[in-house]
Copies of this chain bind each other. A is one copy, B any other.
Amino acid sequence: MDKKDHHFLSDETVEEASRTFKVLADPTRIKILYLLSQEECSVTHMTEVLNMSQSAVSHQLRTLRGLRLVKSRREGNHFYYSCSDQHVINTLNQVITHIDCE
């Protein structure tokens, strides 16, 4: 391939892609996102199902919220979280599918 035919990524694109993959690189966030991709659920529920401390779950939810990958709604004393970025879920599912079919 001739050098002039190359496509180069802009720094912004590289950084954005890196951010996307960084979010998905942590086991805890993978579990949370995969769970939320199947059902909306409360922090308490996540904590129980994932067998993690409330604080750890909450901190990761903060990260995910900051990146607008999840959203929450209040119902009484509970906050119900759900996914808000289908593209990230698609990417996650694609990789998981590939792993599981090997």
Contact = CB atoms under 8 A, between A and B. Distances in A.
Contact of A95 (B6, B91, B99): B91
Nearest to A35: B6
Chain A at the B interface: mostly helix, strand, loop or mixed?
helix
Q: Count copies of this chain in the complex.
A: 2
B92 A17 contact: yes
A102 to B, nearest CB: 9
A1 B87 contact: no
B18 A21 contact: no
Contact of A18 (B6, B18, B30, B100): B30
Given A14-B31, A17-B99, A91-B91, 20 more contacts: A1-B39, A6-B35, A6-B39, A9-B30, A9-B34, A9-B96, A13-B96, A13-B100, A17-B24, A17-B30, A18-B24, A18-B25, A18-B26, A18-B27, A20-B99, A21-B22, A21-B95, A22-B25, A24-B25, A91-B94
